[in-house]
Structure 1
Amino acid sequence: MASQEQRAVETNWARYRGYVCRHRRSFLLLAALIPLDVGTQLVAPQVVRRFLDAAVAGRSQGELAGYAAVFVVLAAVRQALSAGTGWVSGRVAWRTTNEVRHDLLAHVLRQGPKFFLRHSPGELVDRMDGDVTRLAKLLSELVLDIAAQLLLIIGIVVALFLLDWRYGVLFTPLAAVMLLLLRRLLGRAVPLIADRQRAEASLLGHLEESLTGREDLKANGGTAHALEGAWQRILHHYRLARRAARATVTWPAAVQVLTAVNLCAALATGVWLSQHRGASVGTVFAGLSYAILLRMPLVSITSRFQDMEDVLGSVRRIEELFGEAHIVPDGDGTLPPGRGAVSFTGVTFAYDERAVLSDVSFTIAPGRRVALIGRSGSGKSTILRMLFRQYDPQAGVVSIGGTDVRQLDVAALRSRITLVTQEVHVIAATLRDNLTFFDDRWPDEQLRRAVEEVGLDTWYAALPEGLDTRIGPGGAGLSAGEEQLLALARALLTDPDIVLLDEPSARLDPHAERRLRRTIEKFIEGRTALIIAHRPETLTIVDDVMVVEDGRVARLAPRADFTGSDDETADRLFPVGRS
């Protein structure tokens, strides 16, 4: 069991070593700057020692001025080295942060819908921002700084031995005890800090959810419940943060006590050496200076260990995300040229324990337009999402042109299929960026033509800056119908072979729905199309109708079979308004 855990830890850190190796030159430069910085700190007390001894001995002002000049130069060099180290480490930190965040975001975006049911957007933002920033701090700063402080401690002990062996004998065990104590304390608070970070992510997720649904909350009297939920999460976060703080407060107290002992020991030793061994004033001052200097790396290491606890908690949470397996593994095949038939053969699928599709089989010929009708929860949306490879079947085969979609590269598959849902995502960017999602392969003329073809020409003509007009967050300023037409314009740009429409008119008024239906009819002409229909008018633009009931295809027949006034299935699914 232990060996398995060890292998898991090694594998986890191997992931992050890759990020370090990408910036090998910067880390080598830091490795060269750090010893120089440590060296200037160790030499400075020796210069002051010689200055004091020379002053007591009545040496010339020229010699004293020389020592003073050397000290000033050392101080300037140290400042330059510190600035250089900070610049290089900061540069590495930003690059590493962006690389880790990019890889984590790419991993999250490849997840299926069930993943986003487990993790709220606020929680994911916290992990990809706060946790990744702390991880990058570890990779680019913490480890090197701790190494520098350990090197400084070793250098101080050596310098004390060179100054007087009695100083070395006294301070070596004290430094060793302090380091052993700090090492013993490291790691105790990691689980508590991880719990605190999870509570913080939960709070952010609740706040994001409440702000997103603010209109519904106010309209339905849910504001008090949202506030109560936020308050409970705040209290939970506070309790966990207090527990984590109690677990880490021991370190600073221990360091303060031990450094006070160090200073007292240095003073006592200096007085004894001066009275009984004739130590010079400079030697006593240097010993005291090294004792004071020894406090700095120990306090710094203590602070870094506190940061390390936070980082290790963040690493654990990042690994939880990286450990989420992709629901849809990628294939390496591509669809052959041309439009192939869409087939489901014995397809079965369940969400957790709830069966959604059961032994579903059908074939849709190329270029046929099919409406899927059925009650909510019957499995219509799941059929579309399996074809789009948001899910894979647990049994059976989904194929296009005779090729199992599981064998296909997901990106290549989706370049031939477009999925338009009733929930349209509009970003706070220009109209051009909302159409292309920052893909610059389409010229402006093609973008304008797509906007006109979906019926947005009048709306577009009124825009003050055309394609460069900025759209507000969440589609501010756009009606639901305009958002749906914008989504169709996006789909039109890709020139897909297969069009999947998941209730695109569900949120529209009758006038907007008729406008959208005309656009859809033109868009799907000559293409294979599967349209989830909740209104009988949608049947007028399709060739066939598929009835989905309780996870099974109950019927697949030409549209004419469903438009008669005596059709029982149509009467049951479209009880009013059928023509």
Structure 2
Amino acid sequence: MKKIKNIINFIYSRLGNKIKGSVFLIIIVSLIANILAIILPLFQKNIIDAIVKSNLENGLIFIFLISGLTISLIYIIESLLLEKLFRNLKGRIQYELLTSITRQSNKIIDQRGPGAYMTGLFGNSEQIAMLLKKNYFSMIIGIIVSLFALIISAKWTLTFPLLIVGSYILIFSIIKITNKIHISNFNKARELVFETNPKVLEFIENKRSISGYGNILKLENRIYKLFEERDNYFKKASYASIFGNSSIVAIKNIVLTIFFILSMFQIQKGNLELSAFIAILSYFPIVFKPIDSIQEIYSNINKFEMFYKRIEDNLLKKPKLDLPENNKIKISNCSFSYSNTEIIENLNLEINKKIGLVGLSGEGKSTILKMIFGEISPLRGYVEFGNKDVRNIHKPFVYSSIRYYSQEMEIFDEDLNFNVTLGKIGLSKNEYMEKLKNYEAQLFKLIKKIKTMKEPLNLKNLDYEYINMIYEIFNINDCYVEKENLLYEIIEKIKDNKINVSFVAEILFSRDYYILEKYENIIKELELEKLGNRKLGQRGKKISGGEKNRVCMARFLLPEHNGPFIIDEPFTSLDAISEEKNLKILKEYIKNKNGIIISHKINIIKELADEIIVIDKGKIIEKGTHNELIQNQKLYSKIHKNFVKMKNV
């Protein structure tokens, strides 16, 4: 019962309020259909008896006809309503899984890649939604109706109910065994789908390397073996399902045949009326309906558990609701280890200037970035952003506030404008500042209104416009199943905490708008005009590596807010001349901002950083300006000498 309750809670909480009315209609339709199913055979018997006695009334025929037409119409309505529920639930789950990508960490993407997650997003959501293709209300009512059918038929003959009870025992045994085999093999097959699909995608994307450097037949066979293993499990699952279903059909046919033979003897002896026999034949599919229903319910419970486990970690969780009070980042006594090896040890760092992080590969620089974004938790210590533990700050707000210029270039198959602005609206500088001022004033009113709200909180005291503004701040959409409860929590959080209205307004406003003059200057300075309105290709396949780099740099430079920045290995695809030119542009745009620069290129660190920190074995071993560290003749000096040597080569 607990499993069934969990399924009902999961599904019902994700159906839209408008669609929930369809559930009530399905209950009504199911009730009417099953009542008619039990009544129609009785009409049949009465009509046959009346014909035998030559006193058939037209009214009886008319009622029987209307009942038959009604039940046919009800089945059509039922199918349409179930399809509506299926489409709604499938869309809601997909929307929720897509929404969660930008709001919380995702193990599937981190470990198996986007291809595996996309397979699950569409496949698992459809499989769970498919459970609504069956009318469970009709199944439950059908079980009750079948009992009535057995009781009615027992008045005419005991042969029929005894045969049905015996067949039920046999069928249940088959269902239990075959379903267990089916679920086990199907689950293994689906796991292999997740393993195989990313490898196929990798094979397709790396076809040039395979053709040029690999043994094509050998590498193809690796994929084929995965196909064979996957399909073998699917085959076993299908065979178990087919055997179970065909066995049930065979038992039904055998029972029907035995009943027919025994009934003929009873009719011949006068122990069973012909009309009763015909009525019982009409009840035959009704009394076996619970078998199909129980088999379906049992199978679907197992399927739900299997598919739910795959998406459980990626369903939307309650968001963190803190907001930073300022734009300062502070790392306090942080330590972190991988596989019992300490990567970071008691790190203390305040990002109050432009800091360059330098160290050999594998010395924890990437780990520091993940801790700053709250993507991983230190074993000891904590990272603060705006006087708040970054792990408790709403994740999209962290990403919006801390601008990130990554070595991994993300390009959309859209034109240049979309790739840089991500669909934001361009305004002149005067319009932008005026509109920002108005937005800030509106946000100030909202915060003031919330802080003066009295307990118990009443949402009716908040205008619809203000409620939407709260949802916008925390990126709350209809995918959150407890949206209204979440609203109460947010209001309580705002009441109890200090909110830096100017900083929050700057960040939120920059999500939707950009300054046209700034955009045009960036595009011109980075020499991106030639890309024009053409699409850049999936992952930027239609442009060069250097152009990808500059497009991502333009996106990084565009937002107009005073949040900190992180620059991680910039200019990886640029030639020396382009690098020097873009380095000057980057330096100009970040001159009044604080942040972190990570690069193996010492010239970039020297040019951009106010202070350089050298990390070795998880600890800060040097700190100072470029010239100071060169004079120290320690690790930084060695790294610099190697860099100069390689550059000269």
Within a 5 Å distance, the mapping from 1:262-277 to structure 2 comes to: 262-277=255-270
Classify 1:518/1:172 alpha carbon distance in 2 versus 1 (closer, same or farther; 3 Å). Answer: same
Q: Which residue of 1 aligns with 2:626?
A: 559
Partner of 1:498: 564
Q: For the structure 1 residues 450 and 159, does the alpha-carbon distance in structure 2 shift closer, same or farther, using more than 3 Å as the test? A: farther
TM-score between the two structures when normalised by the length of structure 1: 0.83
TM-superposed CA distance for 1:76, in Å, is: 2.6
CA contact (8 A) 2:185 2:233 kept: yes
Relative to structure 1, the CA distance from residue 79 to residue 229 in structure 2 (aligned partners, 3 Å threshold; closer, same or farther) is same
How many angstroms apart in 2 are the aligned matches of 1:85 and 1:282? 31
Q: 2:331 aligns with which of 344, 361, 378?
A: 344
Note if 1:143 corresponds to 2:139. Answer: no
Counterpart pick for 1:94 among 87, 93, 96: 87
Kindly tell me: are residues 503 and 46 of structure 1, through their superposed partners in 2, closer, same or farther at Cα, counting changes over 3 Å?
same
The correspondence for 2:197, drawn from 191, 197, 204, is 204
CA distance in 1, matches of 2:377, 2:309: 29
Distance 1:274 1:10, change over 3 A: closer
Q: Which residue of 1 aligns with 2:582?
A: 516
Q: What is the CA–CA distance in structure 1 between the aligned matches of 2:608 and 2:648, rounded to whole Å?
A: 14
C-alpha change, 1:332 and 1:292, in structure 2 (3 Å) is closer
1:55-134 aligned within 5 A: 55-59=51-55, 63=57, 68-107=61-100, 109-112=102-105, 116-134=109-127
Are the counterparts in 1 of residues 331 and 350 from structure 2 also a CA contact under 8 Å? yes
Instruction: From 544, 547, 551, give the equivalent of 1:479.
Output: 544
**5 Å matches for 1:352-501?**
352-365=339-352, 368-400=353-385, 403-429=388-414, 431-437=416-422, 446=515, 449-450=518-519, 452-455=521-524, 459-460=528-529, 463-464=532-533, 470-491=535-556, 492-493=558-559, 495-501=561-567
Match of 1:32 among 22, 28, 36: 28
Structure 2 Cα separation of the partners of residues 37 and 451 of structure 1: 66
Shift in Å, 1:385: 2.5
- Say which SS state the counterpart of residue 477 (structure 1) adopts: coil
Distance 1:564 1:576 in 2: 21
Offset of residue 90 of structure 1: 1.5
1:18 aligns with 13
Counterparts of 1:224 and 1:451 in 2: how far apart (Å)? 51
Distance 1:182 1:536 in 2: 71
Could you tell me how far apart the structure 2 residues matched to 1:556 and 1:12 are?
57
Are the counterparts in 1 of residues 526 and 582 from structure 2 also a CA contact under 8 Å? no
How much does 1:445 deviate?
6.6
Look up the SS of the partner of 2:408 in the other structure. Answer: coil
Residues 112, 195 of structure 2: 8 Å contact kept: no
CA offsets per residue over residues 525-554 of structure 1, 9 Å max, x none?
211121112223312233222222232222
Paired AA for residue 569 in structure 2: E
Measured in 1, the distance between the counterparts of 2:553 and 2:516 equals: 12
What is the number of residues matched between the two proteins?
Answer: 558
Percent identity between matched residues is: 16
1:464-507 alpha-carbon deviations (Å, 9 max, x no partner): 4xxxx544322232222332232233332263421101112112
Residues 270 and 288, structure 1, Cα contact 8 Å, conserved in 2: no
- Asked whether the equivalents of residues 347 and 393 of structure 1 are also in contact (C-alpha less than 8 Å), the reply is yes
Structure 1 CA distance for aligned equivalents of residues 301 and 244 of structure 2 = 13
CA distance in 2, matches of 1:386, 1:219: 40
RMSD of the TM alignment (CA)? 3.7
Q: 2:564, 2:593 within 8 Å by CA — same for their partners in 1? A: yes
- 1:151 & 1:516 partners in 2: Cα distance? 76
Aligned to 1:576, the other structure's residue is in SS state helix
Structure 1 residues 300 and 17: CA distance shift in structure 2, 3 A? closer
Q: Give the distance between the partners of 1:343 and 1:239, measured in 2 at CA.
A: 54
Q: Which moved more, 1:71-80 or 1:522-531?
A: 71-80
* Counterpart residue type for residue 544 of structure 1: E
Larger RCO (alpha carbons 8 Å, 6+ apart):
2
Q: Which moved more, 1:564-573 or 1:78-87?
A: 564-573
State the alpha-carbon separation in 2 of the partners of residues 293 and 400 from structure 1.
65
Indicate how the Cα distance of structure 1 residues 177 and 479 shifts in structure 2: closer, same or farther if over 3 A, else same: same
User: Does residue 188 of structure 1 match 2:180?
Assistant: yes
Amino acid at match of 1:489: A
| CA contact 1:499–1:528 (8 Å) conserved in 2 | yes
Q: 1:159 to 1:10 in 2, by over 3 A?
A: closer
1:3 is matched with none
Deviations 1:338-375 (A, max 9, x none): x43x433332112233332223233342xx22222222
Which amino acid in the other structure matches residue 570 of structure 1? H
Q: CA deviation at 1:260?
A: 1.8
Q: Which amino acid aligns with 1:426?
A: I
Provide closer, same or farther for how the CA distance between residues 148 and 437 of structure 1 changes in structure 2, counting only shifts above 3 A: farther
Paired residue for 2:598?
532
Task: Give the superposition deviation at 1:201.
Answer: 1.9
Q: Deviations over 1:302-321 (max 9, x none)?
A: 46655555444323433466
Q: For each residue in 1:430-478, what CA deviation from the matched residue of structure 2 results, as whole angstroms up to 9, or x when unmatched?
A: 55543454566667773674253254775346524xxxx5443222322
Aligned amino acid, residue 546 of structure 1: I
CA offsets per residue over residues 181-219 of structure 1, 9 Å max, x none? 466447523333222211222122221232333344334
CA contact under 8 A between 2:179 and 2:241: conserved in structure 1? no
Alpha-carbon distance, 1:35 to partner: 1.7
Structure 1 partner of 2:497: none
- Return the alpha-carbon distance in structure 1 between the equivalents of residues 536 and 64 of structure 2: 61
Q: What is the CA distance between 1:259 and its match in structure 2?
A: 0.7
Structure 1 residues 316 and 9, CA, compared in 2 at 3 Å: closer, same or farther? farther
Greater Cα shift, 521-530 or 270-279: 270-279
Distance 2:89 2:559 in 1: 35
What TM-score, normalized by structure 2, do the two folds share?
0.75
Q: CA, structure 1 residues 140+292, in 2 after alignment: closer, same or farther (shift >3 Å)?
A: closer
Mind listing any 5+ residue stretches in structure 2 that lack a counterpart?
426-508
